């Protein structure tokens, strides 16, 4: 199974992908994680990539592709993968096209207003990093972490103006890719119209899409 998951920031894409790992027996590969690892290890590639990541810009295709190739050479990727955050450009999609047969592309469709609502109510513990939500996952005591008693804060890029910008960047970059895969008839839309839907339900819908694809 070789699949791609598209979904805007705050769509829960990472959560669903990690749950699918155990079920499908293929690794969840996030190019964002690969880049952050290079930065953390202070490699030459990490030093170059850092300048782009800090500005919120895309890292050049050759760098991202070589990181991905290195990751895909590990034995756990032999049976397939779930790609998260890749491809982000037509060049990256071409690279995949030339090297792998992609079985399925999942497109999580989440209305902007829901994303803004979820992210702008997200609170994070200053000490342990636990995540809360003023609407859906309230701490027992206002603005205080249940786990460690730390103070909760809002991420700088979780302010509504910045969320709108992140969504715009996502839409501009991803829209052409969604059309590209839609035309190839391997894309399935999954609608998440309500952010209180438990992750299991969305995972189930993704598994149904996989079954349908296998029948074809």
Residues forming contacts to ligand ADP in the complex (CB under 6 A) are: 9, 31-32, 35, 52-53, 56-59, 64, 85-86, 88, 92
Q: Which of Zn ion, ligand ADP, none does residue 72 bind (CB under 5 to 8 Å by kind)?
A: none
What's the Cα-to-Cα distance from 123 to each of 12, 118, 164, rounded to whole Å? 16, 10, 18
The site map against Zn ion for 67-106 (x = CB under 5 A) is ----------------------------------------
Strands 104-109, 131-133: pairing kind: unpaired
The answer to whether the peptide bond before residue 21 is cis (omega within 30 degrees of 0) is no
131 forms beta bridges with 124
- Name 83's bridge partners: 4, 29
Give the three-class secondary structure for 61: helix
Nearest residue relative to ligand ADP (C-beta): 32
Smallest separation (angstroms) from Zn ion to the CB of 140: 12
Residue 181 in tokens? 């895969």
55 is a catalytic site residue: no
131 binds, among Zn ion, ligand ADP, none (CB under 5 to 8 A by kind): none
Q: Does residue 148 touch Zn ion according to CB under 5 A?
A: yes
Residues annotated catalytic, as ranges:
13, 88, 122, 155, 166
């Amino acid at each position: 199974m070789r699949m791609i998951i598209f979904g805007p920031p705050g769509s829960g894409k990472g959560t669903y992908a990690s749950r699918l790992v155990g079920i499908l027996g293929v690794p969840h590969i996030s190019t964002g994680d690969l880049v952050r690892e290079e930065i953390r290890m202070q490699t030459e590639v990490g030093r170059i990539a850092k300048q782009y990541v800090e500005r919120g810009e895309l890292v050049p295709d050759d760098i991202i592709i070589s990181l991905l190739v290195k990751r895909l050479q590990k034995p756990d990727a032999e049976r397939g993968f779930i790609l998260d955050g890749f491809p982000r450009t037509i060049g990256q999609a071409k690279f995949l096209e030339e090297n792998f047969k992609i079985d399925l592309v999942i497109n999580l469709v989440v209305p902007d207003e829901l994303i803004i609502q979820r992210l702008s109510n997200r609170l994070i513990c200053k000490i342990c990093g636990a995540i809360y939500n003023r609407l859906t996952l309230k701490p027992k005591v206002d603005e205080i972490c249940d786990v460690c008693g730390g103070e909760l804060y809002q991420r700088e890029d979780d302010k509504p103006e910045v969320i709108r910008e992140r969504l715009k960047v996502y839409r501009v970059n991803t829209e052409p890719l969604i059309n590209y895969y839609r035309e190839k008839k391997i894309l399935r839309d999954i609608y998440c119209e309500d952010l209180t839907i438990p992750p299991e339900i969305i995972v189930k819908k993704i598994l149904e899409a996989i079954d349908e694809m296998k029948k074809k």
